[in-house]
Amino acid sequence: MKRATDRICRRALASLLPILGALAACPNGAPQLVLVAHPEHVAADGSTFSVAAVAMNEDGSPGNGTVRFEADFGRFDFSEASALVELANGRATVDFGCDAREDPRCVGPRPIRASWNGASATLQVVFVEAHAPIPDAGLEEPDAGPEDAGADGDAGFDGGTVGEPSLLVETARSAIYLGIADSTTISSLLLGADGAPMAGQPLRMTTTLGRLAAQAGGAGSRELEATTDERGRAEAVLVEDGSEGSARITVEALAGLTASAEVEIAALGELSYVETLCAGEPCDILGVRGSGWNERAEAVFRLVDSRGRPAAGVVVGFRIPDSPRGLTTAPSAPTDSEGEASAALVAGDGTGAFRVAATLAPAQSPTYSDTLAVTLVRPASQGMWFGCRPLNLPVLEWGSPAQQVECTVKVLDRLNNLVPHGPRVCFADEVGIAHACVEVDPYRFGGDNSKQGSATFTFELAGFSSLSNDVEPLGPDPTQLPLARSAEPFVAEGSRVRNPRDGLATLIAWVEGGEEYFQDANGNGAYDSGELFVDQSEPFVDNDDDGTRGAFEWFVDSDSDGEWDGPNGLWDGDATVWAETRILLTGDPMLATSRLEPADFGSVTKGASRTLQAHLTDRNLNRPAAEGLALSATHTATKGAIDFRHPSILDAYGFGLERLLVDAATGSACSPSSERCVWRTLFYDWSEGVIGSLRIDGAPETDTSPPQQDLVTLRAARGSQVLLLQATGVIE
């Protein structure tokens, strides 16, 4: 029986000779490759079958060289997932098999591929369960007669078929599906004994299931008459008619010459969403057109039949309800051999959330993707946030321990969304220690995004080793908007004038490849003249806090022209955007600049109270840092009481300081009616080291004892350094 089966396969492969002749008769100026398997329905139990390739050169002569066979499943010649086979007289043959017990993909229609000399071909082979009946291959099993009795002279194809007319039938798809008016093309090729196409020959086509029509959209019936064209070809369309099963299409030509093929007509199963990919990686955020990040994506859907097998060749329609402006997708795509179809997404200039709807027919309910979004991506000048902790650092005394400072920047786009990609942010500072660049934490699909769009940099300040610049005290500015500024306090120390801003140190953070913020008033996604925008200079370290770069202040030369460029009055769509913050360097509180106020609080009558302000300042009139500072208050009178109220957290500047967007024309706070706004650092009032208050309560009204002198003492200690501030009065 095995020898008889082998003979059937040899006879089938011998039919490739007419194909070779047909290709030779129709050269098209390019290499051609045809792929054939016999049988095309195979048991998925590891049984092997032959796959043959026919190659033809540009001039129609038989091809030579090597054919590469490939498959994503099974094995060629029992061991390999690919095979290289030398062509002989334009033909190459290899054995292939697949066992579903070892590889679950060996079920249903599966593709085998071949390539040679720039040409390629793909063939669908149908694998059936190991014990299921295999459809008739359309070839009669010969008798095991004397010609098969041994191997003598049987070196290749059965010569009995060479020189005879031949008829080949192939289907564009191995399966079609119910409920969607699905169809596939049936192609017939009739060749004469010399291998030349036979034109004008009548063919009779029949099917056991479905309908045959002359063209797509035709009514069709179980039988169809056709005539071969000048290439010896005739085509028909098999349309499903609501019946499930295996359709056997038989084509009859000449006297008794027949060939057949089978198409499975199956019921569809579920259409499901799989994932969205950007450059081959899972994603759910796209960048707007021109952002250079995730501007294209593919939303992948999978279709299976009622038995859970991939449904190939089915057209899936796509649409995007409530689409962000300019976002497009292809209207449809066919499913591949894995049953997958992808909606190709291309972002426009609009932003927002959306879902892709996939359908098999207009009347069916859609399957939706997960929620996706288009975002701006580019960092903007308005929303960039920068801050450091702690703010107040005790480093101005000899022997002060080094202090760790952690600075964090958050990079946002024009719509205040954290940027999803990971741009590089750089830092610089007034005291020359925080120069560094780090990567912003990117958005991670399915991961922890609690730090998305932010970057953190830690640096160390050694005690008394890093001093900020000495600056002149600010005078009063009653016209400053939005709030007036009072005069900055100062104290003379020899030839030097000390004031609170002497302890301030400026730090900056910047990102390249951003844009100046603008208010998109008309919603067209682009800046238009007259719309509000934030005009920024090149980044610089503002040592003296005046908002303008001085001759010796460090700056970032973004355009490499050797000069610092201030705000240019124009909206810049490609800019280095930046932000600044400040830390306060302080020392131990000084007796000469600290006090209780008033120092003489007078008499406190029975049932009444008085309040003292506690001013605790270092040499620059700044409030000392909280770290290591112990505060307590006592009084000497044996009656009455004191209540020392001080902030539990002293990590602050101790004076009014704000970085604010102001109208470039008026200096008032930036508002929707402004056209151009700029950043300003504004100072308001000065607390001169106020750390809290001491309330002195008098004796109760029922007290009959004589008045007592009272000495109130505030004790401030850091390590071995102790400062005592005192005030006097009388408790009635």
Q: Express each pLDDT in 258-272 by its tens digit.
A: 999 999 999 999 999
Alpha-carbon distance 508 to 269, whole Å? Answer: 59
Q: If you search the block for the tokens 């006090």, which residue do you land on?
A: 595
Mean pLDDT computed over every residue of the chain: 85
Q: Name the phi and psi angles at 348, rounded to 5.
A: -105, -150
Provide the pLDDT for residue 579: 95
At CA 234, angle to CA 228 and CA 236, rounded to 5? 145
Which pair of structure tokens corresponds to residue 576? 């280095």
| β-sheet bridge partners, residue 253 | 203, 257
Q: Which CATH number fits domain 1-162: 1.10.3720.10, 3.40.50.720, 2.60.40.10, 3.50.50.60?
A: 2.60.40.10
**Burial class of residue 399, CB neighbours in 10 A (0-12, 13-18, 19+):** exposed
Topology of domain 595-653+689-731, per CATH?
A: Immunoglobulin-like (2.60.40)
Which pair of structure tokens corresponds to residue 59? 């001039």
> Cis link prior to 18 (omega < 30° from 0)?
no
Strand-strand pairing, 175-177 and 257-266: parallel
- 13-17, 69-73, 219-223: lowest mean pLDDT where? 13-17
3-state secondary structure 679-730: EEEEEEEECCCEEEEEEEECCCCCCCCCCEEEEEEEEEEECCEEEEEEEEEE
Higher-confidence position of 174 and 355: 355
Q: Which one-letter amino acid corresponds to residue 555? A: F
Provide the pLDDT for residue 609: 95
Alpha-carbon distance 57 to 53, whole Å? Answer: 13
- Tens-digit pLDDT profile for residues 459-479: 888 776 556 778 999 999 999
The two domains 268-375 and 595-653+689-731 share their CATH topology (first three levels equal): yes
Provide the pLDDT for residue 400: 80
Alpha-carbon distance 295 to 665, whole Å? Answer: 38
Average confidence (pLDDT) over 514-520? 93
The answer to whether 266 touches 303, Cβ cutoff 8 Å, is no
Provide the pLDDT for residue 161: 38
**What percentage of the chain has pLDDT greater than the value 90?**
53
State CA 117 to chain mean position distance. 38
Provide the pLDDT for residue 10: 38
H or E stretch covering 655: strand 655-663
Provide the pLDDT for residue 652: 85
The CATH number of domain 268-375 is 2.60.40.10: yes
Q: If you search the block for the tokens 């020959």, which residue do you land on?
A: 201
The answer to whether 374 touches 420, Cβ cutoff 8 Å, is no
Name every residue whose Cβ is closer than 8 Å to that of residue 730 and which is 6 or more positions away in sequence. Answer: 602, 603, 604, 707, 708, 709, 710
Give the model's confidence band at 377: pLDDT under 50 very low, under 70 low, under 90 confident, else very high: confident
Would the pLDDT of 141 be above 70? Answer: no
Name every residue whose Cβ is closer than 8 Å to that of residue 381 and which is 6 or more positions away in sequence. Answer: 514, 515, 516, 517, 534, 536, 575, 577, 578
The answer to whether 455 touches 440, Cβ cutoff 8 Å, is yes
The per-residue b/e assignment along 414-425, b for 16 or more CB within 10 angstroms, e otherwise, is beebbbbbbbeb
Which pair of structure tokens corresponds to residue 459? 């640096």
Higher-confidence position of 337 and 647: 337
Give the model's confidence band at 78: pLDDT under 50 very low, under 70 low, under 90 confident, else very high: low
Would the pLDDT of 441 be above 70? Answer: yes
Alpha-carbon distance 675 to 519, whole Å? Answer: 9
Would the pLDDT of 19 be above 70? Answer: no
Q: Mark residue 16 as left, alpha or beta (left: phi above 0; alpha: psi -120 to 50; beta: remaining).
A: alpha
Alpha-carbon distance 62 to 84, whole Å? Answer: 18
Q: Which one-letter amino acid corresponds to residue 416? A: N
Average confidence (pLDDT) over 109-124? 87
Give the chain's count of helices (H) and strands (E). 2, 51
- Angle of helix 2-14 relative to helix 16-25, nearest 10 degrees? 10
Average confidence (pLDDT) over 80-88? 82
Using the 8-state DSSP alphabet, how is residue 478 labeled?
Answer: T
Alpha-carbon distances, residue 560 vs 167, 437, 543, 557 (angstroms): 75, 19, 22, 5
Pure H helices in 643-685: none
Q: If you search the block for the tokens 């962000």, which residue do you land on?
A: 324
Give the model's confidence band at 337: pLDDT under 50 very low, under 70 low, under 90 confident, else very high: confident
Give the model's confidence band at 570: pLDDT under 50 very low, under 70 low, under 90 confident, else very high: very high
Using the 8-state DSSP alphabet, how is residue 369 labeled?
Answer: P
Provide the pLDDT for residue 90: 81
Alpha-carbon distance 216 to 226, whole Å? Answer: 15
Would the pLDDT of 297 be above 60? Answer: yes
Name every residue whose Cβ is closer than 8 Å to that of residue 374 and which is 6 or more positions away in sequence. Answer: 285, 286, 287, 288, 324, 327, 347, 348, 350, 351, 352, 354
3-state secondary structure 487-523: CCCCEEECCEEECHHHHEEEEEEEEEEEECCECCCCC
Which pair of structure tokens corresponds to residue 48? 């092997």
Among candidate residues 135, 442, 107, the one with its CA nearest the CA of residue 260: 135
Alpha-carbon distance 7 to 150, whole Å? Answer: 12
Q: If you search the block for the tokens 């940099």, which residue do you land on?
A: 457
pTM comes to 0.65
Q: If you search the block for the tokens 């399957």, which residue do you land on?
A: 367
**Domain boundaries in the chain?**
1-162, 268-375, 389-586+655-686, 595-653+689-731
Alpha-carbon distance 232 to 190, whole Å? Answer: 5
Would the pLDDT of 344 be above 70? Answer: yes
Name every residue whose Cβ is closer than 8 Å to that of residue 590 and which is 6 or more positions away in sequence. Answer: 617, 618, 619, 723
Provide the pLDDT for residue 553: 92
Average confidence (pLDDT) over 530-536? 96
Would the pLDDT of 27 be above 80? Answer: no
Higher-confidence position of 429 and 468: 429
Q: Which one-letter amino acid corresponds to residue 159? A: G
The answer to whether 648 touches 662, Cβ cutoff 8 Å, is no
Average confidence (pLDDT) over 49-59? 85
Provide the pLDDT for residue 367: 96
